[in-house]
Structure 1
Amino acid sequence: MSLRINDTAPDFTVDTTEGEIRFHDWIGDSYAVLFSHPKDFTPVCTTELGYMAGLKEKFETRDTKMIGISVDPVEEHLRWKADIEKVSGHKVDYPMIGDPKMKIAKLYDMLPAEESGASEGRTPAQNATVRNVFIIGPDKKIKLILTYPMTTGRNFDEILRALDSIQLTAKHQVATPAQWKPGEDVIITPAVSNEDARQRFGDFEQVLPYLRKTKAPSG
């Protein structure tokens, strides 16, 4: 069955570049970003892993952990790190999952369950669908799923923006409009009455009968 938003993220125990982890325990009370790659030593993914390394502090300020996964073994990830740092100038100091038997790629529906074999000898094209981003909450529920083609580098600034929206809307009964950025006005959800909206948010703008905007809540 395909994974969907609000499904519980499948748990697993696995070897990483920072030792063995059990995924749900590793997430703990934080948010997590799990992003996958079709193969080590591939050009687009090398730039992506480096860019993410440069964003690690920004994710940490949002109480969010990051973890990468490729179907190659951990030993290959450790060798790949040098290339990533050379290209990006950023050291990869977040865990990278080794998935040589492709168990997690299948568990997260990135490869068909009936796909046979292991990572050895496979080409990036054979793993082209292993190009996902999952944001997972402290409740271990999936909050966001994105899938990119191999030739399109991911916009991880957009992942940060989406994370800000997810965290804000989880805390307050608001939604964020198109192109929203932190600090901009938000939408009051239909579940909140006008009276309750005034108590919660103060003044708001009634744009349409079903569209009310207000200042972004703080705290």
Structure 2
Amino acid sequence: MFDIPFPIIEDLSMQVAHAYGMIQPGASDTSAVRATFVIDPEGALRAMVYYPMTNGRSVDEFLRLVQALQTSEKHKVATPEAWVPGADVIVPPPKTVEEARQRKDEGFQYTDWYFSTKKIV
């Protein structure tokens, strides 16, 4: 036996599936879609990913999503599509022209004056 370090719920009554909208319309009245909810330590729902019963899920993508959420929270940045740890992140736009000028000397990469990326360590 293995210990599972996260909560798993049994939902024989389908009360949770109905409450969270996990029943796929037109597919079944009793078969829930496969859903993954990412909930932060404060209990806030940060992401919901739904897959129909006919398609598999990617554990690697869920891990990437959690890492992206943690990186965004820690560094106050955004992560682009397909971002992986070590790749550039998107930084908030500069608030002033002077801040934009300073960023050029601090290793930021620019697409335009308001859109820049950087590496985080």
Answer yes or no: same fold by TM over 0.5: yes
Task: Give the deviation of 1:204 after TM superposition.
Answer: 0.3
Instruction: Find the counterpart in structure 2 of residue 211 from structure 1.
Output: 115
Between the aligned partners of 2:48 and 2:11, the Cα distance in structure 1 is: 20
Instruction: Find the counterpart in structure 2 of residue 148 from structure 1.
Output: 51
Which runs of 5 or more structure 2 residues have no equivalent in the other structure?
A: none
With over 3 angstroms needed to count, the CA separation of the structure-2 counterparts of 1:207 and 1:141, relative to structure 1, is same
Q: 1:100-130: CA deviations, max 9, x gaps? A: 1112112222249xxxxxxxxxxx9444443
**How many residue pairs are counted as aligned between the two chains?**
114
With over 3 angstroms needed to count, the CA separation of the structure-2 counterparts of 1:130 and 1:213, relative to structure 1, is same
1:137, 1:143 within 8 Å by CA — same for their partners in 2?
Answer: yes
1:128, 1:149 within 8 Å by CA — same for their partners in 2?
Answer: no
Between the aligned partners of 2:58 and 2:87, the Cα distance in structure 1 is: 21
Between the aligned partners of 2:112 and 2:94, the Cα distance in structure 1 is: 15
Which runs of 5 or more structure 1 residues have no equivalent in the other structure?
A: 1-90, 113-123
Q: 1:20-60: CA deviations, max 9, x gaps? A: xxxxxxxxxxxxxxxxxxxxxxxxxxxxxxxxxxxxxxxxx
Between the aligned partners of 1:111 and 1:192, the Cα distance in structure 2 is: 45
- For the pair 1:176 / 2:79, whether they are aligned, the reply is yes
- In the alignment, residue 117 of structure 2 is paired with which amino acid? K
Between the aligned partners of 1:155 and 1:169, the Cα distance in structure 2 is: 21
RMSD, matched Cα: 2.8
TM-score, normalising length: structure 1: 0.45
Moved over 4 A (4+): 191-194
1:100 pairs, out of 12, 28, 31, with: 12
Instruction: Find the counterpart in structure 2 of residue 54 from structure 1.
Output: none
2:42 pairs, out of 135, 139, 152, with: 139
Task: Give the deviation of 1:92 after TM superposition.
Answer: 5.0
Between the aligned partners of 2:10 and 2:21, the Cα distance in structure 1 is: 17
Between the aligned partners of 1:137 and 1:162, the Cα distance in structure 2 is: 12
Between the aligned partners of 1:100 and 1:129, the Cα distance in structure 2 is: 11
With over 3 angstroms needed to count, the CA separation of the structure-2 counterparts of 1:176 and 1:154, relative to structure 1, is same
Instruction: Report which of the two has the higher share of helix.
Output: 1
Q: Which structure ranks higher in relative contact order (CA pairs < 8 Å, sequence separation ≥ 6)? A: 1
Percent sequence identity is 36
Task: Give the deviation of 1:184 after TM superposition.
Answer: 0.8
- For the pair 1:109 / 2:21, whether they are aligned, the reply is yes
Between the aligned partners of 2:95 and 2:33, the Cα distance in structure 1 is: 40
- In the alignment, residue 102 of structure 1 is paired with which amino acid? M
